[in-house]
Amino acid sequence: MAEIERPQIYLITPPEIELSTFPDALAGVLDAEEIACVRLALATKDEDRLARAADAVREVCHARDIALVIESHVMLVERLGLDGVHLVDGGRSLRKVRKALGGDAIVGAYCGASRHDGLVAGEAGADYVAFGPVGTTPLGDGTIAEAELFQWWSEMIEVPVVAEGALTEDLVRKLAPITDFFGIGEEIWRSDSPAAALRALVAEMG
């Protein structure tokens, strides 16, 4: 039986970052484990704050040859020298965004727990589809992206899939054989040592 490739890590920034300390913390995490891509996922809509954060994070990522995408803000991708965008509308704007950014940009879509939205995004040219949350969280409406969704997707669809949201060591162990990426963010940033927290999750990937 062919050995299943271990999922890759797709690192998600906290919704708020302290520019005086976060770049060093990020560098420590990027150097601790192999990271495929980083998503700048800030809560702020302030363009100046987003730009300053993107500059700082991009410097750390690109020095390590790691791609950096931004959540939602399509118009900032080229202006800030980023590698792409993570859309949160289930792929509805994906075709238009792909046309605007071109074929080389990374364009991914968060699709909640909706198989239909995932298929729409995949057909529109998504580089990846993210489903979540995979664990229980007080955020959202309580809908969880179950393991069955990832099982079906991994068997039927070639577009890479990301499992994210309220990950635990148990969930990482359970989903590792049926997902291409783990979107890891708050799970490690709440820790005193994000790099150690990440290593603990990675250890469960088998």
**Residue 96, both tokens:** 């238009």
The answer to whether position 52 is within a domain reads yes
The pLDDT score that the predictor gives to residue 73 is 96
| 71: three-class secondary structure by DSSP | strand
Report pTM. Answer: 0.96
The pLDDT score that the predictor gives to residue 3 is 47
How many other C-beta atoms are found inside a 10 Å radius of the C-beta of residue 14? 17
Residue type, 163: A
Note down the domain range covering 85.
Answer: 8-203
The answer to whether position 67 is within a domain reads yes
Rounded Cα–Cα distance for residues 35 and 30 (Å):
6
The pLDDT score that the predictor gives to residue 140 is 79
Residue type, 92: R
- E-assigned strands of the chain? 8-12, 35-40, 67-71, 84-87, 106-110, 128-131, 161-164, 181-184
The pLDDT score that the predictor gives to residue 105 is 98
CA distances from 155 to 180, 182, 206 (A): 12, 18, 20
The answer to whether position 1 is within a domain reads no
| Helical (H) or strand (E) element with 198 | helix 194-203
Task: Name the nearest CA neighbour of 115 among 127, 131, 97.
Answer: 131
**Residue 148, both tokens:** 């069955």
The pLDDT score that the predictor gives to residue 138 is 85
The answer to whether position 85 is within a domain reads yes
Per-residue pLDDT of the chain in tens (206 residues, 90 and over written 9): 344 589 999 999 999 999 999 999 999 999 999 999 999 999 999 999 999 999 999 999 999 999 999 999 999 999 999 999 999 999 999 999 999 999 999 999 999 999 999 999 999 999 999 999 999 988 778 899 999 999 999 999 999 999 999 999 999 999 999 999 999 999 999 999 999 999 999 999 98
Domain count, the chain: 1
**Residue 192, both tokens:** 């005193």
Task: Name the nearest CA neighbour of 115 among 153, 142, 87, 158.
Answer: 153
CATH code of the domain covering residue 48? 3.20.20.70
The answer to whether position 3 is within a domain reads no
The pLDDT score that the predictor gives to residue 2 is 42
Token pair 């080389």 is found at 104
